[in-house]
């Protein structure tokens, strides 16, 4: 049995380790897998819940959001979210839209004015360009894919999301991905890419190359809003999208 200062020291170590694991989990870094590690990859297996094991924050094992078994249940659990300062200026929470069993998921940065008013992601000018990419370029319907953003409320004047806002909302995105389990994620723009990949590498160096998000293939590319300002780079996005199409068709097997 531990006594006196020994017990206090052990308790302090346990608390320190718990906080460390919580920080790793919030950053998207999985805890060490159980059992024999021989032959396992560094990526999270697709059978794991992306949020399992989190404790002491929004997504504890006992939380309603964590236990959601569908996107509808997750949206209900989010309710009238007040977790960050963006709640004060929003019209609608922009949760996400599309096929809940989509093989392809697009993740953007955050809602703009049109999205805030309508409560649906990518419905403004940039959204029309994304729709054209999906329908005219990929030959799919918008309702075949799933579309969401890293943050669910519009930042004032469409400013960049701030770190505390991303931290508050990212667990919702993780849970969406966990429920949908897409085969491929297309990350649109700097903030989506850097949030999902936990990387500060410029998107210009990441785009066009396959990455892994917990075992899910991820293709970074430019945001449609960027393309409205820089139409010459549409050809680069089309190169990225062609790689996505090839992967979906199994041509890279």
- Residue 144's pLDDT is 97
- Least confidently predicted of 4-18, 64-78, 232-246: 4-18
The percentage of the chain sitting over the pLDDT mark of 70, rounded to a whole number, equals: 75
- Residue 60's pLDDT is 58
Among the listed residues 188, 173, 183, the one whose alpha carbon sits nearest the alpha carbon of residue 129: 188
Beta bridge partners of 104: 184
Q: What is the mean pLDDT of residues 56-84?
A: 82
User: Token digits for 69?
Assistant: 């078994």
Among the listed residues 200, 202, 146, the one whose alpha carbon sits nearest the alpha carbon of residue 178: 146
Q: For the segment 128-178, what is each residue's pLDDT rounded down to a tens digit?
A: 999 999 999 999 999 999 999 999 999 998 899 999 999 999 999 999 999
In which band, very low, low, confident or very high, does the pLDDT at 29 lie, cut at 50, 70 and 90? very low
- Residue 252's pLDDT is 64
**Pairing between strand 104-108 and 97-98?**
unpaired
Residue 16 has pLDDT above 90, yes or no: no
In which band, very low, low, confident or very high, does the pLDDT at 120 lie, cut at 50, 70 and 90? very high
3-state class (DSSP) for residue 18: helix
In which band, very low, low, confident or very high, does the pLDDT at 55 lie, cut at 50, 70 and 90? very low
In which band, very low, low, confident or very high, does the pLDDT at 44 lie, cut at 50, 70 and 90? very low
The mean predicted confidence, pLDDT, of the chain is 83
Q: How far apart are CA 218 and CA 205, in angstroms?
A: 14
Q: What does the angle CA 166 – CA 169 – CA 174 come to, to the nearest 5 degrees?
A: 105
- Residue 181's pLDDT is 96
In which band, very low, low, confident or very high, does the pLDDT at 51 lie, cut at 50, 70 and 90? low
- Report yes or no: 121 and 94 within 8 Å, Cβ to Cβ: yes
Q: For the segment 169-182, what is each residue's pLDDT rounded down to a tens digit?
A: 999 999 999 999 99
Domains of the chain (ranges, CATH numbers): 54-248 (3.40.470.10)
């Amino acid at each position: 049995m531990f006594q006196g200062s020994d017990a206090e020291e052990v308790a302090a170590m346990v608390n320190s380790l718990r906080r460390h694991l919580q920080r790793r989990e919030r950053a998207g870094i999985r805890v060490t897998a159980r059992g024999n590690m021989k032959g396992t990859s560094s990526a999270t297996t697709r059978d794991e819940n992306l949020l399992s094991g989190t404790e002491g924050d929004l997504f504890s094992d006992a939380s309603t959001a964590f236990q959601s078994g569908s996107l509808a249940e997750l949206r209900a659990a989010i309710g009238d979210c007040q977790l960050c300062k963006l709640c004060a200026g929003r019209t609608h929470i922009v949760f996400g839209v599309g096929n809940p069993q989509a093989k392809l998921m697009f993740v953007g940065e955050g809602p703009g004015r049109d999205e805030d008013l309508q409560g649906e992601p990518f419905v403004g000018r940039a959204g029309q360009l994304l729709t054209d990419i999906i329908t005219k370029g990929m030959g799919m319907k918008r309702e075949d894919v799933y579309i969401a953003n890293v943050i669910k409320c519009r930042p004032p004047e469409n400013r960049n999301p701030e770190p505390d806002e991303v931290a508050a909302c990212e667990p919702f995105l993780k849970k969406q991905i966990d429920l949908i389990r897409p085969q491929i994620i297309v990350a649109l723009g700097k903030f989506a890419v850097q949030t999902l990949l936990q990387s500060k590498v410029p998107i210009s160096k990441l785009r066009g190359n396959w990455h892994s998000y917990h075992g899910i293939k991820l293709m970074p590319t430019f945001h449609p809003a960027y393309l409205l300002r820089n139409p010459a780079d549409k050809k680069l996005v089309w190169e990225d999208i062609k790689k996505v199409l090839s992967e979906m068709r199994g041509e890279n097997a």
